A and B are shown apart, each in its own frame.
Chain A
Amino acid sequence: MTRHAVPELDPLIHQPVRLQIMAALCHLAASEQVDFSFLKAKLDLSDGNLGAHLLTLEQAGHIEIEKTFVARRPKTFVSATPSGRKAFAAHVQALQAILRSQ
């Protein structure tokens, strides 16, 4: 099994759950935000698991988390930041480059 050193790969994004989260968030339009519970259900993750990974991604500046109230109930909305979108796109390109390489 040949291994490749690719500096563009982002180890933080490469983690499987975070990869899923970023893929889902980057699918939204730039101005859109997704509800935490909705995202959790769609990615089939637990509260704790999703929360921990979101925190990691937020600390890296890849996503934004907004806590608000809708109809007097607390709601958390999540979106990918422009730099997060760039980082994810670069990560995908790096993965594709590995596949293309001999």
Chain B
Amino acid sequence: MDVSREEAAAALAAIQRANHAARSAFRAHRGHYHLWLWGVVWIAMALLAQTRGEAGVRLFPWVSVAGLVASTVIGFLQSRQVRAPVDARFFGALAVLIGFAVLLPLVFRPRDLSPEIAFAYTGLVVAQAYVLSGVWFDTYMVWFGLVLAGLILLGLLVFTSYFWIWIAVCTGGAFLLTGFYVRYYWR
């Protein structure tokens, strides 16, 4: 097959255009919608705890369920355009991780479990799930999970007196910023 340099350059430019179009179309199917959603959920939970105290903390399960429903809807809509087969081993590993994370408090039986500690513990389980997802799929999630875990521990151990504000601004912010990074710069 004979191709001139001009034709080769034109073909490579066409590939670059198609890549660019594909990148902007397909990256809408990466994790950023979920990251933005959960950023808002975490900020909402932290602000509820900060402003309404115990009454706000009791709303956490409902806020989480709303987040899970919204995440499921987003996942369903995305899978109608770009889909990947369900990875049974990944979901199996995730179930094991969460199952044992639920069992651990039964072993330690914490009597004076404050909302801050309970939230930090749940947050660390979530961060662990992100790291696991990153090992399995996209490496950015490894880094995100590690940063999230670090921020949660900093809030719990160092910035104790304004824990909820820390969670809202830093970890909620980490979700939102990572969402922007994934949307505009990843791959």
Residue A34 is within 8 A (CB to CB) of chain B in the complex: yes
Give the segment of A19-27, A48-56, A57-65 that binds chain B. Answer: A19-27
With an 8 A cutoff between CB atoms, is A72 at the interface?
Answer: no
Which single residue of chain B is at the shortest CB-CB distance from A11?
B1
Residues of chain B lying within 8 A (CB to CB) of residue A95: 3, 8, 11-12, 15
- The reply to whether A31 and B21 form a contact with Cβ atoms under 8 Å apart is no
Cβ of B73 within 8 Å of any chain A Cβ, yes or no, is no
Residue pair A27, B14 in contact (C-beta under 8 Å)? no
Provide the bound-state CA to CA distance between A2 and B6, in Å. 9
Q: Which residues of B contact A33 (CB under 8 A)?
A: 82-84
The number of chain A residues with a CB under 8 A from chain B is 36
Q: Which residues of B contact A35 (CB under 8 A)?
A: 80-83
Residues on A with beta carbons closer than 8 Å to the beta carbon of B59 = none
Q: How far is the CA of A29 from the CA of B57 in the complex (A)?
A: 40
Q: Nearest chain A CB to B76's CB is how many angstroms away? A: 9
| Given contacts A32-B83, A77-B83, A99-B8, A92 and B15 within 8 Å (CB-CB) | yes
- A27-B26 contact in complex given A35-B81, A96-B12, C-beta closer than 8 Å: yes
> In the complex, A29→B26 CA distance in Å?
10
Rounded to whole angstroms, the CA-CA distance of A82 and B137 in the bound complex is: 18
CB distance from A66 to the nearest CB of B (A): 10
Contacts of A28 in B (CB 8 A): 22, 26, 82
Whether a CB of chain A sits under 8 angstroms from the CB of B112 is no
Q: Nearest-CB distance from B30 to chain A (Å)? A: 10
Q: Is B3 in contact with A70, judged by CB distance below 8 angstroms?
A: no
Is B84 within 8 A of A31, CB to CB?
A: yes
Query: Do B25 and A4 touch across chains, with their CB atoms under 8 A apart?
Result: no
User: Is B1 touching A99 in the complex (CB atoms < 8 A)?
Assistant: no
Q: How far is the CA of A9 from the CA of B17 in the complex (A)?
A: 20
Tell me whether A99 and B26 are in contact in the complex, defined as CB-CB below 8 angstroms, given that A5-B2, A14-B1 are known contacts: no
CB distance from B16 to the nearest CB of A (A): 8
Nearest CB on B from A102, distance (A):
9
Which residues of chain B from 33 to 89 have a CB within 8 Å of any chain A CB? 80-85, 87
In this assembly, does A90 line the interface, its C-beta being within 8 Å of a C-beta of chain B? no
Query: Do B18 and A23 touch (CB < 8 A)?
Result: yes
Across the two chains, which residue of chain B brings its CB closest to A31? B84
6 smallest CB-CB distances across A and B, nearest first, come from A23-B18, A98-B8, A24-B22, A27-B22, A38-B81, A20-B18
Query: Contacts A2-B5, A20-B14, A27-B22 given; 4 further ones with Cβ under 8 A?
Result: A9-B1, A11-B1, A19-B15, A43-B18
